[in-house]
Amino acid sequence: MTPVKKSAVVLIGGAFPERRRVEGWLDASAFVIAADSGLYAAEAYGLVPDLIVGDMDSIGDRSILSRFPAEKIIGFPEDKDETDSEIGFRMARELGYADIAIVGGGGGRMDHFIALLALFDRPHHPATWLTDADEILAVDSELTIEAEANETLSFFPAGEGECRMTSTGLRWSLDPLTWKKGDVGVSNRAIGGLVSVTMRTGRLIMVRRYTDSDPRRKSGLSCP
């Protein structure tokens, strides 16, 4: 199936960022899926989801669903093998989207956090995950961002196989490293200006905390 829009955003339960943090994703070119109480994020952003999915057990007043056409709502039983967030991501993939952002999921249950993080180990994975406080980015080939001097950037191997990469703009270069699952690169520091990471093999995820001066728009980074 060929997607009608360029990218997809899956809004999920938990603490979500200010809209300005995700403005580059939440434009007319995005297909928006609200997974269960991700519907609250949609309301806060002033969005009408293209699709609402999940068991709806986290929506306090389900009468809110009556505001939307029935064909936009796909319900699931509470006893299932996927989380609502996972269902939202899977359905975005099934609709043909490869460029997918997950928005929300801050705070809350640790098991749900780990389940979301595990999505980045899959062959088909999110491009980014934006919580209320942090941005998690997949690095498959090359990533270039603008970072403040001494900004903390952390890197972790994802997926299968070993990770070998080159970098510029970091206090501690990633060039000599060979990582595998279970290795960590916590609290590296940006020199200031552009930071670039190019993968030779494998995949990384990068975690960075929002700063007031950086609204973290999609247009400010380069990633597949």
The domains found in the chain, sorted by start residue, are: 7-132 (3.40.50.10240), 139-220 (3.40.50.10240)
Question: Binning pLDDT at 50, 70 and 90, where does residue 63 land?
Answer: confident
More confident residue, 154 or 61: 154
Burial of 75 (0-12, 13-18, 19+ CB in 10 A): exposed
Q: What is the residue-wise DSSP string for 191-216?
A: -SEEEEEEEEESEEEEEEE-BTTB--
pTM: 0.89
For position 31, what pLDDT does the model report? 95
8 Å CB contact between 211 and 16? no
| Measured CA distances, 199 to 125, 188, 189 (Å) | 16, 17, 19
Q: DSSP labels for 25-39?
A: TSSTTEEEEEETTHH
- Which of 143, 128, 131 has its CA nearest to residue 198? 143
Residue 24 confidence (pLDDT): 86
Q: What percent of the chain has pLDDT over 70?
A: 92
**Mean pLDDT value across the chain:** 90
- 180-192 pLDDT, tens digit per residue, is 999 999 999 999 9
Quote the CA–CA distance of 34 and 17 in Å, as a whole number.
15
Mean pLDDT of 154-163: 95
